């Protein structure tokens, strides 16, 4: 399925202006954007919206890996451009969906190309944003400073979750992103596994906290024993 879709000359609905800066021209050529979005172009060729979305996610992961492999001097520029385009498309898609009045919980509009395109763009771009923001933690500051970005990301996250169109792995990435940016409360065991450096620090910090907790509990158990020993000596 992956090779079939790559030959179909599509990619994320974002109108990337930074593709030519990536490191593999042949692969990037096969990842050119399609104006109608992935769902609108191939929905009649695949048996399941879920399978189609999984295929899209695999392509997004390839694109993220290409960005990661670029030189550090180019990487930030590519990421910022990606986020800028994703934000624009999410805002446009939101306007379309709200103007038509289509809610996330409504049934999938197989016969309405405009709605299919808007929904596909929301799902594709919030998933891509989630993937890329987990890989590049400096986007936490971007989210804090850019209120418009944060607003549309929260909306798109909620829409994607309520739609029920995302597979389990994508939902996991969406939830990790939402916790990372404090859109939803962080679980006690939350670690951004994509950010290896911070993940290591967080793990070490948790281990230290656990050691301190155990030491405190142990000292509390020792105190009554000492008091009992002193009382015997007094007798």
**Predicted confidence pLDDT, tens digits, the chain (235 residues):** 333 333 333 334 443 334 334 444 333 333 444 455 555 554 444 446 667 777 888 888 898 999 989 888 899 999 999 999 999 999 999 999 999 999 999 998 888 999 999 999 999 999 999 999 999 989 999 999 999 999 999 999 999 999 998 888 899 999 999 999 999 999 888 888 777 655 566 566 667 777 887 888 877 776 555 555 455 455 4
Cα 174 to Cα 92: distance, rounded to the nearest angstrom: 20
For 31-48, what is each residue's pLDDT tens digit? 444 455 555 554 444 446
Cα 233 to Cα 139: distance, rounded to the nearest angstrom: 64
Sign of CA dihedral 187, 191, 194, 195: positive
Whole-prediction pTM value? Answer: 0.66
Alpha helices per DSSP H over 24-71: 25-29, 38-42, 49-69
Question: 119-139: string of b/e by CB count within 10 Å (b at 16+)?
Answer: bbbbbbbbbbbbbbbbbbeeb
The token pair at 222 is: 């020792």
The token pair at 235 is: 């007798």
What letter would DSSP give residue 108?
P
The token pair at 28 is: 């990037």
Sign of CA dihedral 36, 165, 104, 90: negative
Cα 183 to Cα 157: distance, rounded to the nearest angstrom: 9
Nearby residues of 183 by Cβ (< 8 Å), 6 or more positions away = 153, 154, 157, 177
**Domain range summary for the chain, segments of one domain joined by +:** 2-193, 195-235
């Amino acid at each position: 399925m992956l090779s079939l879709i790559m030959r179909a000359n599509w990619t994320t609905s974002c109108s990337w202006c930074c593709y030519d800066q990536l490191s593999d021209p042949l692969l990037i050529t096969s990842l050119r954007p399609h104006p109608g979005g992935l769902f609108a172009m191939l929905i009649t060729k695949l048996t399941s919206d879920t399978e189609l979305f999984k295929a899209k996610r695999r392509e997004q992961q390839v694109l993220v890996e290409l960005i990661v492999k670029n030189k550090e001097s180019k990487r930030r520029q590519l990421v910022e451009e990606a986020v800028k385009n994703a934000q624009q498309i999410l805002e446009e898609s939101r306007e379309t969906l709200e103007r038509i009045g289509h809610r996330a919980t409504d049934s999938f509009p197989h016969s309405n190309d405009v709605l299919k395109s808007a929904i596909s763009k929301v799902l594709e771009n919030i998933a891509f944003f989630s993937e890329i923001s987990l890989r590049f933690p400096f986007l936490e500051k971007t989210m804090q400073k850019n209120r418009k970005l944060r607003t549309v990301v929260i909306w798109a996250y909620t829409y994607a979750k309520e739609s029920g169109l995302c597979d389990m792995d994508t939902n996991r990435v969406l939830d990790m992103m939402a916790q990372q940016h404090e859109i939803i409360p962080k679980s006690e065991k939350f670690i951004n596994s994509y950010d290896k450096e911070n993940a290591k620090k967080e793990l070490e910090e948790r281990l230290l906290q656990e050691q301190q907790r155990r030491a405190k509990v142990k000292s509390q158990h020792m105190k009554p024993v000492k008091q009992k020993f002193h009382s015997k000596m007094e007798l």
